[in-house]
Amino acid sequence: MNLSLVDGSGNPVPGITLAPTSVNMAGSSPLTQTLTVSVGSGVAPNTYILQLRATSGSLTKAVNLSLTVTASGGGGGGSGAGTTWTLRTSGDNSLNSVAYGNGIFVAVGGSDNGRGTIFTSPDGVRWTTQGSWTSTWLHGVAYGNSIFVAVGIFVAVGSGATRIVILTSPDGVIWTQRTPPTDNSLRGVTYGNGTFVVVGQYGTILTSP
């Protein structure tokens, strides 16, 4: 009998695996089997509605289950996490926000010439600039649902004209500009419970989806 763990559409969930994926059955006696669900480091914190499917020939049985993934906590324990810090540098850029997902850290900010800046790192130690994807300073970045979202605002000196930006990326390297439904400054973004939430000027709150 083959075993699989899928989402509501019947597709495997990247980063979430099941072991074992098959068991042997003989006769009509009930079978007890311990199953282990493993969650990869790139899986975003969220509650996932899944199905455990058992298939034997043309016969398929399924049971629904809920899996809650939470961010790993510091908690001390003698590890020094969050207690002892080491200074790193990425140059003279101003960095405003950092997020982790899909095995990579992404930091966003701006430079003295007014360009937005994006840096990526696999370990928080070695950082690589990903060029300037926008002339807008980036104020916030978050990861969830397999994508990074970055937000920012540019104010032209003298005219006061503003440029609002929302960027998305699956890997922190290639970014796509999205059209924001507001002209108000966007200052922060987070992800939780299946939704991105962006906040900004004049009490602006945007959600996606």
pLDDT digits (tens, 9 = 90+) for 163-204: 789 999 999 999 999 999 998 889 999 999 999 999 998 999
17 and 104, same domain (yes or no): no
187 and 134, same domain (yes or no): yes
- pLDDT value at residue 78: 45
**Residue 17, beta-bridge partner list:** 38
Six-digit token string for 46: 């969220």
102 and 188, same domain (yes or no): yes
78 inside domain:
no
105 vs 12, residue with greater confidence: 105
Backbone angle region of 8, left / alpha / beta, with phi > 0 → left and psi within -120 to 50 → alpha: alpha
- pLDDT value at residue 132: 65
Cβ burial, residue 1 (10 Å; 0-12/13-18/19+): middle
15 inside domain:
yes
How many structural domains is the chain composed of? 2
Taking only the tens place, the pLDDT of each residue in 48-57 is 888 998 888 8
Q: Output the CA torsion sign for 176, 177, 179, 185.
A: positive
Indicate the pairing of strand 162-169 with strand 176-178: antiparallel
- pLDDT value at residue 12: 87
- pLDDT value at residue 8: 78
Do residues 53 and 4 make contact, with C-beta atoms less than 8 angstroms apart? yes
98 and 58, same domain (yes or no): no
d(CA 25, CA 201): 62
- Say how many C-beta atoms besides its own lie within 10 A of residue 170's C-beta: 13
pTM of the model: 0.60
132 and 171, same domain (yes or no): yes
Domain that holds residue 116: 94-208
Ranges of H-type helices in 57-145: none
Q: Output the CA torsion sign for 34, 24, 51, 47.
A: positive
- pLDDT value at residue 77: 46
63 and 99, same domain (yes or no): no
Buried/exposed 176-186: b ≥16 CB within 10 Å, e otherwise? eeeebeeebbb
Instruction: For residues 97-122, give the mean pLDDT.
Output: 88
Ranges of H-type helices in the chain: none
140 and 44, same domain (yes or no): no
158 vs 142, residue with greater confidence: 142
- Closest C-alpha to 139, from 189, 178, 204, 182: 189
SS3 content of the chain, % helix, strand, coil (to 5): 0, 50, 50
Do residues 74 and 85 make contact, with C-beta atoms less than 8 angstroms apart? no
Instruction: For residues 60-89, give the mean pLDDT.
Output: 71
